Amino acid sequence: MPLADSPPVFHATGLAKRYGRRGKQALADVNLTVPAGRVIGLVGPNGAGKSTLLNLACGLIEPTEGSLTVLGSRPASNAAHLARVGFVAQNTPVYGSFSVAEHLTLGAKMNPSWDPALAERRIRQVGLNPRQKAGQLSGGQRAQLALTIAAAKRPELLIFDEPAAALDPLARKGFLRNLMEFVVELGASAVLSSHLLDDIEQVCDYLIVLCDSRVQVAGDVRHLLNSHARMAAPRGGFDRLPPGTEVIRTEHRGHYSHALVRIDAAAGPLPYPPEPVSLEELVLAYMGRAAGMEIGVDARTEAWETQR
Ligand SMILES: Nc1ncnc2c1ncn2[C@@H]1O[C@H](COP(=O)(O)OP(=O)(O)OP(=O)(O)O)[C@@H](O)[C@H]1O
C-alpha cells in the first residue's frame, strides 16, 4: 500500500549518467517520482541502464546531470540514510571464506538497526547451515543469504538488482515469496530489476520500463493496464483516433492494423472497441517502440527473448 506521508522512494529530475567523458550515456533525462510502500519492477533489455539507476540510488556512483533523492535524501548521504536502504547487488555477492553465521555477526557489527532474531529465524527457515562457508553455497542459497542480510538491517527500502536471475524456476519462486514476506514484515518498499516479466508480474505493483537509457513508461501496474488497450482497425484507421490518445505500437496483418494505444486521456469516444492488454504486451510495446522494431503477434516472445 502506498504510504501517503512518506517521501517518494525515488524522485529524479533530469537525471543522467555518462560513464567517462566520451563513454556511454547510460541514463538520459530521467524524470520520475515513485511513491513509497510499493514493490517496483524495473524492466528493460540488456544495457538499458537498470543497474546504473540502482547504483545511483545506492550512492555507489554519482549522476552526471540532474538530481536523485531516495526516501527524500541524497543517496548514501550519511550513515543514517545508508541504514534505511538494503541493497542486493547483481550476482548476490557474499564473502566466500566467511561462514553463514559470520556473515550475520558482521551484519550485526556494521548495522545499528540489525535484527538478530529476524536474521536467525530466516536462516533456519530457508535451511542454511550457519557453519557452512558462503563460498560453498549454491546460487539460490547465496541469494537467500544476501536477502537475509539486506532485510535484517530492517531497511525502509530494499533494492535488488536481478536478484533471482541465476536461480532455477522453483528456487526463483521461493526466493520471490521470501522477498515478499520480508517486504510485508518490514513494511518496506522494494525495487527489483529483472529481465523476467513473470517475476515482475508475480510480485510488483509498480512498473518502470527502461530502454535505451530512458524511462519509456512508469506507473501503478493496475493503472497502466487500465489506461492502455488493444485495438484493431482497417489499415490507416488509427488516424481517426481522438486527440489525447497515443499509439504506442502498430502491427499490420492483412487489411487490418492492430495497435496498443494509451487511452486514458482520450478526448472523445474511441472508434474501435478497446480490448484489455496484458503486462507482457504493454512492456513489449514500449520496448519495441524504443528499439524501433516491427513486432508481429507471433514474434512477440522472440522479440522479448532477443532483447534479453
Ligand atoms: N562502469 C561502467 N563503465 C562504462 N560503461 C558502463 C559501466 N557500467 C555500465 N556501463 C554501460 O552503461 C550502459 C548501461 O549499463 P547497465 O549495466 O546500467 O545496464 P542494465 O540495464 O543493468 O544491463 P543488464 O540487464 O545487462 O545488466 C551499458 O551500455 C553499459 O555498457
If you take atom 31 of ligand 1, which residue's CA is the nearest one? 47
In the chain, pLDDT over 70 holds for what percent of residues?
Answer: 93
All 3 cell numbers of residue 296? 508481429
Confidence at residue 210, expressed as pLDDT on a 0 to 100 scale = 95
CATH 3.40.50.300 positions along the chain are: 10-212
Q: Is the predicted pLDDT of residue 294 greater than 50, yes or no?
A: no
Residues 6+ apart with CB under 8 A from 11: 32, 33, 34, 68, 69, 72
Q: What is the pLDDT of residue 92?
A: 73
Q: What residues are in contact with ligand 1 under a 6 Å CB criterion?
A: 19, 23-24, 26, 44, 46-52
Tell me the pLDDT tens digit for each residue of 55-75: 999 999 999 999 999 999 999
User: Which residue bears the cell 528499439?
Assistant: 291
User: C-alpha grid cell for residue 161?
Assistant: 538488482
pLDDT at 3: 56
Ligand 1 centre from 226 Cα, in Å? 32
Report the predicted TM-score, pTM, of the whole model to 2 decimal places: 0.88
Q: Taking 60 as the threshold, does the pLDDT of residue 296 lie above it? A: no
User: Taking the domain 10-212, which CATH number applies?
Assistant: 3.40.50.300
pLDDT in tens, 17-53: 999 888 789 999 999 999 999 999 999 998 999 999 9
C-alpha 200 – ligand 1 centre gap (Å): 21
Is this prediction's ipTM beyond 0.85?
yes
The predicted-structure confidence for 249-272, as pLDDT tens digits, reads as follows: 999 888 899 999 999 999 999 999
